Amino acid sequence: GSDVVKPVLNYYNKFGGTRYVKGITTREVYATRKSHVNYVVADTEEWEQIAAKALDDPDLDDLVISYVKNAYLGFAVPYVDAFGVDRLYYPDFIARCRIPQGGTMNLIIEITGVNQDKNEKRWYMAERWLRAVNAVREKYGYDEWRFLEVAGDIRDIKNEIIATIREG
């Protein structure tokens, strides 16, 4: 039938974390409330700040436990671009969320502007990475992982986060 997809875990850091995140930037930053890292580094003039503000919003306190901007974190998903070249995709945010059914999940959030290899990244995320990591989550005690691509109006991100968390 279908391919069996297995994850390749980092031998030294299987479960990741924000413990060793440290960075210096000349870019604008946004102070955080729910992140273990005290600032969000802005890659654009406003999109990351709007996303961080939505994740920090007290209206989402019952759903979003914590989050981190993937700056200096090094969280990457491998994929193959349209030319057959191996690449690494660095999503914008990772949020730890409460799901209505009980328990928690991890939500990868990508703020899509003009992005190269969009289709390849999306396919590898859904068909390879998420399938692989969710297939072994019980074995390693992982929470479920989901993916949200915010490709439309960034001002609707709060509603998109709520819908993705609740879709379970």
Sequence-ordered strand ranges (E) for the chain:
29-31, 39-41, 64-69, 77-80, 86-89, 93-98, 104-111, 144-150
pLDDT of 52: 93
Cβ contact 137:144 at 8 Å: yes
User: Is residue 19 predicted with pLDDT exceeding 80?
Assistant: no
Residue written as token pair 């479920």? 144
pLDDT of 11: 59
- Write out pLDDT tens, residues 84-125: 999 999 999 999 999 998 999 999 999 986 566 688 888 999
Higher pLDDT: 42 or 106? It is: 106
pLDDT of 114: 58
Amino acid at 106: N
Rounded to the nearest 5 percent, the helix, strand and coil shares of the chain are: 30, 25, 45
Quick one: CA torsion of 2, 88, 24, 21, rounded to 10 degrees?
Answer: 30
Query: CA-to-CA distance for 145 and 97, rounded, in angstroms?
Result: 10
Query: CA-to-CA distance for 94 and 161, rounded, in angstroms?
Result: 12
